[in-house]
Amino acid sequence: MRNQLFQHRFLFLLSVMLPVNLLLAYSLKNCSVSYSNNVTRVECSGRDLAAVPHDVPKDAVSLNLGSNHILKIKRTDLSRLLKLEYLQIGNNWILRIDDGAFADLELKQLDLSSNSIRNLTDNMFQGLGKLTNLSLERNQISDISPLAFRSLISLEQLILTNNHLHRMTDLVPILQLPNLNNLILDFNKFVSFQTDDLPLNKSNLRMLSMFGGRLTKFSITRDVFPRLQSVSLTAVDGFEWDVPEPEFLRSLNTLRLNESDVSCGTYREMLTSLRSVKELSLSFVKNQRDRHLVSIACQTPALTSLDLSGNYFVSINRTLLLSCSQLTDLDLSNNHLEELEELSLRSMMKLRRLDLRENWLSRVPLGVGGVSTLKILDLSVNAISALGCSDFRKLTRLEKLFLNHNRIATLKGCVFRNLNELKVLNVGENGVHTLTDFFKVNLKKLKVLDLTRNTLKHIKTGDFRNLHSLRSLYLESNTFYVTQKRAFEGLNSLKTLVVTPFFYNMSYRGIFRELHQLKRLKLHLTSSSSYKCSLQKTETQFSVFPLPFLKSLQIKSYDWRHEISPDFLNGLKSLEDFAAEKFFVESPHRDSFKYTPHLTSLQITQSKLQDFNPELFQPIPNLQTLNISNNKLRSLDFLRQVKLSALTRLTLRDNEITVIDESVFQSLPALTYLDLSGNPFTCDCSNAGFIQWAKNNNQTLVDNGHQYDCAFPAAQRGRKLLDFDVQSCWTDYGFLCFVSSTCLTLLTLLTSFTYHFLRWQLAYTFHLFLAFLYDSRKRKKGAAHQYDAFISYNVHDEAWVYREMLPVLEGEQGWRLCLHHRDFQPGKPIVENITDAIYGSRKTICVISRRYLQSEWCSREIQMASFRLFDEQKDVLILLFLEDIPARQLSPYHRMRKLVKRRTYLSWPLAGRHTGVFWQNVQRALETGDAPTETPNLLAPVQL
């Protein structure tokens, strides 16, 4: 805990000392990021953004800002995204784009669809020299600057659908772009398209689409579009086609006419001038007159593909397509077809592809049976309920057959017995519950069989025996399969197998024995309610049997809850991807993956696991993706002890993790993606380190990190984890209390030490300060001295003062002396009396004895007199010793006298019988002026 606290403090100091670079932060507030193959993709769609977010990683290659409320793109919004190649900012409210807003980008694709842009200005697309695709559909563009597209030298496709364009002159700079291939102008307001209105010589345009307008004239009178290959038009009544020379549209091979209202003459004129057209789409054939246009169309000599989808046909008679013998591709999808007459396609001896999806067919049309040249037949999304043995009898060249989304209940083998070239068969999403004699069919070239979402319940031995070339088998269903032990016998080439759900018991251990080439296996396990009750736990250990080439194994359990052997993956030495959903009932055995050393992706989800043994991951050091979502994990401590140096993606969604120690991720040095959504986080200081790491680390993306909700404590519910203020956590109150108590203890010790050893020095300093204030005040007033000397003595020496000193100094020598018991003013503070006496006398005579040194007030008097001596630089202090006192017993204040001014002091004991000489020396000291001569004294002075 102490080390963790230190790490938290260190991170906080770094965050204060070093500015956080938002461009390196991977925890985005309003976006999610996916990172794969060194490509950063940022997803910000549908986040109610009002502006381009500023925390998009600077290495983003793809950015999706669609479906927001952005009003404007400013010059600086995208300037730092120097690697951006794909930008989707459609379905916003953009009114304005600053000039040069995209200038710094490497864009290849730009989507500005569904906005409110009205004008394209000169420099709107400045710098987009690498842009190849630009979408401006569903805006309000009515005006285009002649210079708007000058920078788009690499543009290949421009979409301007659903705008307000109406002037041909607006198209001139567009058509002059050197690499423009596709120009889509659907649903604008053009009434004509004429080369006479285009002041240009050549255009490299290859595809022009003008659906949904009210075009009255299409005129190509000059060789302006030599490479034009596809034209899509919607013509109105009175439409005029003006192409005097077929050479002007010599490269045109695709023509699409949608809801056109043209006369037969105009229509015939169009097709006559388009001799090279190979693909024709007609979406307006509604009556008998229009149907006559089909015959005219099929007279086009180069025509090979005819699209008649969306025309509400109910049936196709034998005459409608009679003249279309050259067609190889016929699209009749999205009509209301109930039948194709038996001879309706008899003339189409070259037909290769027939599309009949999304109609109302209740059986395989009679007209299909005779087209022996078909290779692709699409009958999906109809109402076919049964297949007859003769329905496809003549389609011996058929390679792809789509029967999905019908109502077929029984799949008979005889239906497919002549389809020797069949490679793809899709019978998914029907009601198939029985395979009748399917094993008798020799579909030796079939590679893909899709039986998804049917009601098959039993797969018997030999059902797929003759499908030796089958590569992919899909058996996904809503009801579980009961398979026999050798149900997949004969599928020697199978590479992909999906069986869901799949009833499994001990007797099935060899069910996949013969699938030696299998690479992808998906199983949804189940147990029948009547069978599983009688089984013992040890009887149902799961194993898929050795599959040496298997690379991907996905297992999902519906109600299968039996023992999983530690060696259930034995024999899967090539396995790279293992996904288990609701499969494990307890943490996997530590030896579970020792047989799969090449595993790079592991998913263990929805298994209610609370912990993992760290030894589980030791055999798979190359693991790159780990998904353990929808469990009951409360801690990530197991990751501390693993060595997953290659792990780049870690997904932990919907667990019970409340607190994360960010140091866990130190054991994952390659981690670039982390998803912790749906966990009940605690928003307090226990997560402070993780919050700081999530915001500031520059390697690992914490996907949707700013959307993580607080679950604890109750006061934080409804808030976001990364919005929690972690600064209060760095203020460690326990640490502060420790520091405060330590300081208080040290202060107490220091005070005690000071009082015991330095109290006199402190008192001395205090009185010096008071004396300084008094002296300054007195000097300002310029007051004269009231006394010649102030006598400072202890009350115990008062007898000597009155007996020896006063008679001589006052009586014989006539000095005016100040004594505290006689001259101090009653009622005045004693300190003030002392100060007035010292500064009101010319000199101070200190009568020093042992008792004097022990007196507090005597000490203050000598301290103040000493300060006056130091301050005025005059000899105002006379020390008179009544006793012999060793130097070691003298107070430090007396030593201060020596430091200030070395003097000789008077000693009464040494005077002996020569008291007259002693008092003469005192008189001489009192008579001295400001600077007395330094003459040695004959009375053996005491020196400090």
**Do 396 and 419 contact (CB within 8 A), yes or no?**
yes
Q: What angle do CA 444, 445, 446 make, to 5 degrees?
A: 100
Q: Radius of gyration of the chain from Cα atoms?
A: 52
Mean of per-residue pLDDT scores for the chain: 85
CA distances from 572 to 470, 516, 518 (A): 22, 11, 11
pLDDT over 80 at 277, yes or no: yes
Q: How confident is the model at residue 505 (pLDDT cuts 50, 70, 90)?
A: low
Residue of higher predicted confidence among 165 and 258: 165
CA 730/CA 682 separation, integer angstroms: 17
Question: Is residue 876's pLDDT more than 90?
Answer: no
**Which residues have C-beta within 8 Å of that of residue 1, sequence separation ≥ 6?**
none
d(CA 842, CA 821): 19
CA-angle at 42, arms to 22 and 92, nearest 5°: 105
Supply the pLDDT for residue 655. Answer: 97
Give the model's pLDDT for residue 933: 37
More confident residue, 693 or 559: 693
Pairing status of strand 192-194 against strand 410-412: unpaired
Strands 32-36 and 39-43: antiparallel
103 vs 74, 96, 133, CA distance in Å?
A: 11, 16, 16
Higher pLDDT among residues 790 and 64, named by residue: 64
Distance between CA 773 and CA 254 in Å, rounded? 111
Whether residue 7 is predicted with pLDDT greater than 90 in this model: the reply is: no
| Least confident segment among 203-207, 575-579, 728-732 | 728-732
Half-sphere exposure of 169 (CA within 13 A, CB side): 4
Exposed (0-12), middle (13-18) or buried (19+): which is 486, by Cβ within 10 Å? middle
Distance CA 124, CA 133 (A): 15
Which range scores top for mean pLDDT: 425-429, 565-569, 757-761?
Answer: 425-429
Give the Cβ contact number of residue 787 at 10 Å. Answer: 19
Residue range 31-189, CATH number? 3.80.10.10
Q: Residue 886 has what pLDDT? A: 73
Q: Using alpha carbons, list the distances in angstroms from residue 708 to 691, 713, 717, 886.
A: 11, 14, 11, 82
- Predicted confidence at residue 562, as pLDDT, reads 65
Mean pLDDT of 484-508: 80
Under the banding of pLDDT at 50, 70 and 90, the label for residue 934 is very low
Strand 96-97 with 119-120, pairing: unpaired
User: With 70 as the cut, is the pLDDT of residue 891 above it?
Assistant: no
Please report the pLDDT score of residue 777 as a whole number.
62
Copy the structure tokens of residue 1: 């805990």
Is 733 buried (19+), middle (13-18) or exposed (0-12) by CB count in 10 A? exposed
Q: What angle do CA 718, 724, 725 make, to 5 degrees?
A: 145
3-state secondary structure 29-63: CCCEEEEECCEEEEECCCCCCCCCCCCCCCCEEEE
Higher pLDDT, 889 or 206: 206
Instruction: Judge whether 628 and 652 are in contact, CB under 8 Å.
Output: yes
Determine contact, residues 614/638, Cβ cutoff 8 Å: yes
pLDDT beyond 70 at 295: yes
Q: What integer is the mean pLDDT of 418-435?
A: 93
CA angle 276/279/282 to nearest 5° reads: 120
Phi, psi of 942 (to 5 degrees): -90, 130
Can you give the pLDDT at residue 873? 59
What is the reported pLDDT for 20? 35
**DSSP string computed for 845-884:** EEEE-HHHHH-HHHHHHHHHHHHHHHHH-S--EEEEESS-
- Render pLDDT for 623-640 as a digit per residue (tens, 0 to 9): 999 999 999 999 999 999
What kind and span of H or E run contains 924?
helix 915-927
Q: Which residues contact 707 (CB under 8 A, 6 or more apart)?
A: 677, 720
pTM, 2 dp: 0.74
The three-point CA angle 675-677-681 to 5° equals 115
Residue 812 has pLDDT above 80, yes or no: yes
The pLDDT of residue 18 is above 50? no
Reported as type and span, the H/E element at residue 896 is helix 892-900
Chain CA centroid to CA 119, Å: 35
**pLDDT mean over 126-135:** 97
Q: Per-residue confidence at 32, pLDDT binned at 50, 70, 90?
A: confident
pLDDT of 527 higher than 70:
no
CATH topology of domain 761-927: Rossmann fold (3.40.50)
What is the sign of the dihedral through the CA atoms of 792, 798, 802 and 804?
negative
Q: Region 158-183: what's the mean pLDDT?
A: 96
Pick the residue with more confidence: 894 or 246?
Answer: 246
The distance of Cα 378 from the centroid of its chain, to the nearest Å, equals 44
Phi, psi for residue 253 in degrees, rounded to 5: -125, -5
pLDDT higher than 60, residue 532: no
**Is pLDDT of 811 > 70?**
yes
Which residue in 589, 546, 591 sits closest to 564, CA to CA?
A: 589
Percent of the chain at pLDDT > 90 equals 51
Per residue in 464-482, pLDDT tens?
A: 888 999 999 999 887 766 6
Buried b (16+ CB within 10 A) or exposed e, 301-319: eebbbbbbbbbebeebeee
| Tokens standing for residue 687 | 């997560």
Tens digits of residue pLDDT in 719-760: 999 999 888 787 666 667 788 888 888 888 888 887 777 665
Give the residue, 159 or 512, on which the prediction is more confident: 159
The tokens of 305 are what? 């593909």
Q: Where residue 66 falls among pLDDT bands split at 50, 70, 90?
A: very high
Which band of pLDDT confidence, cut at 50, 70 and 90, is reported for residue 767? low
d(CA 516, CA 522): 16
- Does 182 score more than 50 pLDDT? yes
At 539 the pLDDT is 41
Amino acid at 664: V
* DSSP-derived secondary structure letter, 8: H
Tokens of 656: 């019970």
Distance of CA 540 to the CA centre of its chain: 43
Neighbours of 218 (CB within 10 A): 20
Give the integer Cα–Cα distance in Å for 622 and 43.
Answer: 29
Name the nearest CA neighbour of 881 among 836, 924, 918: 918
Give the DSSP H/E element, type plus range, for residue 601. strand 601-605
Q: Give mean pLDDT, residues 448-463.
A: 87
Q: How confident is the model at residue 4 (pLDDT cuts 50, 70, 90)?
A: very low
Q: Is the pLDDT of residue 892 over 60?
A: no
CATH number for 304-436 (one of 2.40.128.520, 1.10.287.990, 3.80.10.10, 3.40.640.10): it is 3.80.10.10
Determine the average pLDDT of the residues in 591-616. 94
Once rounded to an integer, what is the mean pLDDT over residues 782-809?
A: 85
Instruction: Please choose, from the candidates 169, 176, 85, the residue with its C-alpha nearest in 3D space to the C-alpha of residue 132.
Output: 85
3-state secondary structure 61-90: EEEECCCCCCCEECCCCCCCCCCCCEEECC
